[in-house]
Structures are given as structure tokens and as C-alpha cells.
Amino acid sequence: MSRRQALKGLGTTVATLVVAPSIAAETKNVSEGNNPVLENPLDKYPKPPYPKQKQPHPGLASKMDPLPDHGEKTYKGSGRLLGRKALITGGDSGIGRAAAIAYAREGADVAINYLPAEEEDAKEVVALIKEAGRKAVAIPGDITDKDFCVTLIEKTVSELGGLDLLVNNAGYQKSNLSILDIHDDTFDATIKTNIYAPFWITKAALPHLPAGASIIATTSVQAYDPSENLFDYAQTKAANVAYVKSLAKQLGPKGIRVNGVAPGPVWTALQVCGGQEQDKLENFGGDSPLQRAGQPAELASIFVQLADNGASFSTGQIYGAAGGGGHP
Ligand code: NAD
Ligand code: MG
């Protein structure tokens, strides 16, 4: 075979390698030789209809059907957050747990906060952080209590020897079809958990945050496209967007970045313990272009990206993950 013929043949092979995966990916995941593994987001996870289910607040991820994926078996780190010191509120389950697993596997020591009733979920997360070879600190307590928020930061700083990554992720969501059904105590719990707590926690944390630190808030697609049954919750998530945009301006000159993540429908305990109507739960995420609910694991890399030094010019931004809906 002449050199020209050999190169021509090679060209065909390369073209086949490049084209083949994208064709095959239309129907299934592809893993061949040294080719990257392509995952089709449409059939990567369970689709609606989901089984109806109800748990008392705050709910446990371990009792959900199907079990959510927080990246326990899949998230692979590559040292992106080596030596970082993180606090994640609501780190026991859902989106916060996915961030906790990813942070630990990227090399961060991680403190998690959660409600005492969630100890069972929290224990699993602590074990996963330790398995990753990092320090895990569990600090149960109610963040609607201002004094506890101050204690939370004091304990985190003393146990981790500092703090440079604060994730205000805990949230309360209670579905009500009419404003007339929203009692003051529910309204209060929503505002206290979703607005006051990040305010108190951030104030207590700020004196400890060095230049290069990162603050991340979990907001929601509800901030931009509020559902009729989440009147109070949606307002708090819009407030979380304003928290990010304002604080980023205030803290930019100190070298501290502030960003937010805006999830769409994600399969977590929040939704099965009063956060959603049962008929909406059955078809959760079914109307999105990806035709299903997201899984917490699918948001982990966004939390890592926003925390990473590599995102040093990103502040005041909201990163969306809503299966094709949402605004930011
Ligand atoms: P989740 O129930 O797994 O996590 C919420 C956590 O908040 C709980 O685990 C709990 O530890 C914590 N929490 C609630 N009240 C608290 C209190 N008073 N004191 C201390 N901790 C408290 O559900 P999730 O969906 O992972 O929620 C995480 C964040 O994501 C929330 O801010 C929520 O608003 C937001 N979010 C969720 C979705 C979704 O579809 N699941 C969509 C958009 C935004
Ligand atoms: Mg929980």
C-alpha cells in the first residue's frame, strides 16, 4: 500500500470514529475503545410517571422511590478544590448532598448542616466524605434560629480551621393552591429558612472569608417562572437571586465571588414532603424538553465550577439546570 493510500484509509477510519458516536447516541449510550462515553440525557434517569409518595417534613432521601442519584457511585474528582474548606446547608440530602460528595472528591473538607430529624441521611453523607479521604463535620440544627446560625459558623470555622466556600442551599417549600390557605406560620417558615437564614449565616461567615472565597446560593427556576402553587416560596427564590446580584457587587472588591444555581424540577425529598401536589409529582419534569425530573447528581459539577478558582471572573451569575426550561 502506498503512503497516500494508507493516509486515505486512515482518514476514513478517523471520520468513522468521529461520526459514529453521534449517530449511535441517538438511541443509546456509546462506549467504544478510546471514544468518550456519550450519555443521552433523555434516558439517563427514571422518567415520569413517578410513584405518588408522601413523607413528613423534612423527609429522607433514603425513603424515596426511586432513590435519587447524588453521584454516590459516579462522581469522579480531579483535585479541583484541593484544601478548600466548605460549609453546605442542607448537605444531608438532595442537591446539597450532591455538592457535598463532589466537593469532598475534589479535595475539600466539608461541613454539613441539616435538621436533627435528618440524622440518618446525614450519616451517609459523612461516611462518603470520609471515604473520599477528607474531613467531615456534621452540625445539625435549625437555621430559622439566628443564634444557631452564628453557632453554625463558629463550629465550622473551629472544626475546619477556616472557611472559604459557603453554600447557602437549605430551603423550605410548601405547596398551597390558594394564597388563602397559606397560614402565617408557613409563610414565616418559608421566609425564615430561605431568606433570613442565608442573611444570618452570611453575616456570621463574612469575617472569616478570605479573598478567593466563594459563596453559592441555591435559587430556583421559580424565581423567574413562579408556579401558582408556590406563591410564597417563589418570592423567596427571587430574593435569593437578588442576594447573589447585590452581594456580588458588594464583595467583588474584597475578592469574594457570589453566584447562584437555579435548578428546575429535581428529584429530592423537598418535593415529597409537602413541596409539591401529588398529581404534579407524578409527572414531575415531564413537560420539560428533557421529559423528566433532574437528579441531584446532574447539578454537582455546576457547584464545583462556581467554587473553583478557574471561575475567577464569574460573580453575580446564576447558572441554570432545568432540563430546558427556566431563564438564567
Ligand atoms: P432537600 O429536602 O433534599 O434539601 C433541603 C434541605 O434543607 C433539607 O435536607 C434540610 O436539611 C434543609 N432545611 C430545611 N429547613 C431547614 C431548617 N429550618 N434548618 C436547617 N436545615 C433546613 O431538597 P433539595 O431540593 O435538594 O433542596 C435544596 C435547595 O434546592 C433548596 O434551596 C430548594 O429551594 C432548591 N431547589 C430545589 C428544586 C427541586 O426541584 N428539588 C428546584 C429548585 C430549587
Ligand atoms: Mg434532607
The average confidence (pLDDT) of the chain is: 91
Q: Is the per-residue pLDDT at 19 higher than 90?
A: no
Question: Is 172 a residue of the active site?
Answer: no
Instruction: Name the packing angle between helices 184-191 and 231-251 (round to 10°).
Output: 30
Domain presence at residue 51:
no
pLDDT attached to residue 26: 42
Domain presence at residue 56:
no
Q: Pull the grid cell for residue 308.
A: 473553583
| pLDDT tens for each residue of 56-99 | 999 999 999 999 999 999 999 999 999 999 999 999 999 999 99
| pLDDT tens for each residue of 30-52 | 555 566 789 999 999 999 999 99
**How many Å apart are CA 88 and CA 91, to the nearest integer?**
5
Residues within 5 Å of ion ligand 2 by Cβ? 92-93, 118, 269
- Return the SS3 of 38: strand
Domain presence at residue 16:
no
Q: Is the per-residue pLDDT at 144 higher than 70?
A: yes
Q: Residue 164 is part of a domain; what is its CATH number? A: 3.40.50.720
Distance from residue 58's CA to the centre of ligand 1 (Å): 9
CA 189 to ligand 1: nearest atom = 18
Q: Is the per-residue pLDDT at 11 higher than 50?
A: no
| pLDDT tens for each residue of 204-261 | 999 999 999 999 999 999 999 999 999 999 999 999 999 999 999 999 999 999 999 9
pLDDT attached to residue 1: 39
Domain count, the chain: 1
Rounded to an integer, the average pLDDT of 162-186 is 98
Query: What is the extent of the structural domain holding 231?
Result: 61-321
Domain presence at residue 35:
no
Domain presence at residue 250:
yes
Burial of residue 4 (CB within 10 Å: 0-12, 13-18, 19+) is exposed
* Ligand 1 close to Cβ of residue 294 (< 6 A): no
Domain presence at residue 142:
yes
Domain presence at residue 172:
yes
* Ligand 1 close to Cβ of residue 143 (< 6 A): yes
Q: Is the per-residue pLDDT at 18 higher than 50?
A: no
* Ligand 1 close to Cβ of residue 96 (< 6 A): yes
